[in-house]
Structures are given as C-alpha cells and as structure tokens.
C-alpha cells in the first residue's frame, strides 16, 4: 500500500484510521477537509481546490482522507492502489460527529483547516443523518470506476478497521 484512499461518512472514524495507517506506512496523510475549507468555514474556489487535490494525488505515496468525489477525484481514484471504505451505520456516524462536536467544541482538529473550529452544526448533522440515502449511492457509483487491480476494502464497523490496521506491517517490516 503506497497510495490509499480512505472514504466514508463523517464520524465513521476514517480520519483517525487514515492518520494511523499513514503513520504505520511512514507516508504522508492528506486531509481533503484541510485542503477544502478556508478559515471561518468558507468554501474555496472549486478549481483551486481541485488543483490542490490533484497536486496531492500526484505524489509518490499518500493516504488521502475524505470523499469530495466531484472535485479532483479522477487522478486520485486512478492512482490509488487501495481504497478503504467506512460503510458504518448512520447512528454510529451521527454519534461520532455529535460526540466530537461536544468534546472538541471551539478547537480545530489536527486534520481540519486552520480557522475551522469544531461547532454545533445542525446542517452537518442532517448531512450525516441522510448520508446513507443521498451520499452513499453516489460514492458507490464512484467506486464502480475502480480498476480490477485496485484493492477495495469495506469496513462495516470500527472493529473491522482496527483489525485491518493491526494486520498492516509497519514500514520497513515486510
């Protein structure tokens, strides 16, 4: 694994997993949220965002955390050797984002863009609540563009993700 996409619903644990996997593989971890958001939760120019995504995906090795399938996604999909998809239940993800909002309220997460502190955000919670019916089908269609040589791994629980991570050899150890 040298170029890994970690995708799925917010609150599923994908960012934590992506950071741990990148550390274990000794390769960079790229957060698409950090590339996307501008201070104050301002959305960027989409062309500039796509260029930042493509620059990251052009790298020799990476773990890229996030979905954003409508901007700069073709290069990272074609270059990925592995895709890890967090397909967890809605309530698990919703509990994850609400718990994170409460626990980190007012602070910026390490994988988030500067100037974007955690907050109570009902529109975001609605996004997570409707993810399985609205976003999940789009993501599944995007996965249909993966090649037969690309490894596709689905996690239906955080325990499955943890077991996968524990089986990955650390960099330099085979």
Give tens-digit pLDDT for 56-112: 999 999 999 999 998 878 899 999 999 999 999 999 999 999 999 999 898 998 888
Q: What is the CATH number of domain 3-166?
A: 3.40.50.300
Site of tokens 């996030």:
66
Any bridge partners for residue 126, and if so which? none
User: Are the C-beta atoms of 30 and 64 separated by less than 8 Å?
Assistant: yes
Helix (H, G, I), strand (E, B) or coil at 136: helix
Name the helix (H) or strand (E) containing 103.
Answer: helix 90-104
Prediction pTM value:
0.94
User: Are the C-beta atoms of 69 and 146 separated by less than 8 Å?
Assistant: no
């Amino acid at each position: 694994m040298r170029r890994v996409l970690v995708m799925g619903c917010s609150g599923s644990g994908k960012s934590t997993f992506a950071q741990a996997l990148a550390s274990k593989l000794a390769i960079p971890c790229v957060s698409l949220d950090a590339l996307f958001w501008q201070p104050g939760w301002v959305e960027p120019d989409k062309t500039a965002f796509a260029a930042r995504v493509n620059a990251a995906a052009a790298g020799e090795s990476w773990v890229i955390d996030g979905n954003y399938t409508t901007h700069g996604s073709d290069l990272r999909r074609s270059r990925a050797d592995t895709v890890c998809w967090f397909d967890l239940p809605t309530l698990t993800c919703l509990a994850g984002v609400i718990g994170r909002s409460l626990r980190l309220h007012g602070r910026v997460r390490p994988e988030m863009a500067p100037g974007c502190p955690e907050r109570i955000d009902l529109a975001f919670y609605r996004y997570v609540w409707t993810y399985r019916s609205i976003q999940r089908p789009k993501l599944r269609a995007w996965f249909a563009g993966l090649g037969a040589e690309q490894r596709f791994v689905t996690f239906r629980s955080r325990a499955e993700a943890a077991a996968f991570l524990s089986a990955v050899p650390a960099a330099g150890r085979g």
